[in-house]
Amino acid sequence: MILEHVAIWTDRLELLKEFYCKYFEGVPSDKYVNEAKQFQSYFIQFRSGARLELMNMKGIPGNLNDTITQQHRGIIHLAFGAGSMNEVDEKAKQLEKGGFKILSGPRKTGDGYYGFETLDPEDNRIEVTCIYNDNL
């Protein structure tokens, strides 16, 4: 089995589409619109084949969780893999220059990753990581 896609409800569909395409090299589908349900969405495809569905529809309530300072049960972040520690560092600099706060890192973790955490424009938590080996 493969993970086919993950979906995010958003009030700012175009803004999120641009963010994931600009910073993570996603390729958007054509916008899907269902007028009867007042629903619209994009699929953003990434180099790995994984996709992110960004969805908007009237009547969807906001998330009551504090996604910035606390973590809660359920899906908590999206992780993007980089090819090297240098690529992780460069992505952190690019996002910071774009006005996105780096919540933690870049740093080495105890489980063999090097990465950082940030937030997308709607405060969904994102990690950018690579596997490191101090013996290489």
CATH number at residue 116: 3.10.180.10
Residue 71 lies in a domain: no
User: Does a structural domain hold residue 19?
Assistant: yes
Do 82 and 49 have their domain in common? no
Report if residue 63 sits inside a domain: no
47 and 84: one domain? no
Percent of the chain with pLDDT over 90: 81
CB contact burial 105-132 (16+ within 10 A = b; e otherwise): bbeeeeeebbbbbbbbebebbbbbbbeb
Q: Would 121 be classed as within a structural domain?
A: yes
Query: DSSP character for 41?
Result: E
Looking at the structure, do residues 84 and 51 belong to the same domain, yes or no?
no
Does residue 123 register a pLDDT over 50?
A: yes
**Domain hosting residue 103, numbered range:** 78-131
The reply to whether 37 and 82 lie within a common domain is no
pTM of the entire predicted model:
0.90
What does the pLDDT look like over 20-63, one tens digit per residue?
999 999 999 999 999 999 999 999 999 999 999 999 999 998 88
Residues 58-68 pLDDT 10s = 999 888 777 77
Whether 51 and 85 map to the same domain: the answer is: no
Percent of residues, the chain, with pLDDT higher than 70: 98
Q: How many domains does the chain have?
A: 2
Confidence category of residue 135, pLDDT binned at 50, 70, 90 = low
pLDDT at 81: 96
pLDDT at 94: 98
Asked whether residue 125 is domain-assigned, the answer is yes
Mean pLDDT value across the chain: 93
Q: Are residues 12 and 51 in the same domain?
A: yes
CA separation for the pair 136, 115 (Å, rounded): 17
The pLDDT of residue 95 is 98
Q: For residue 30, is it within any domain?
A: yes
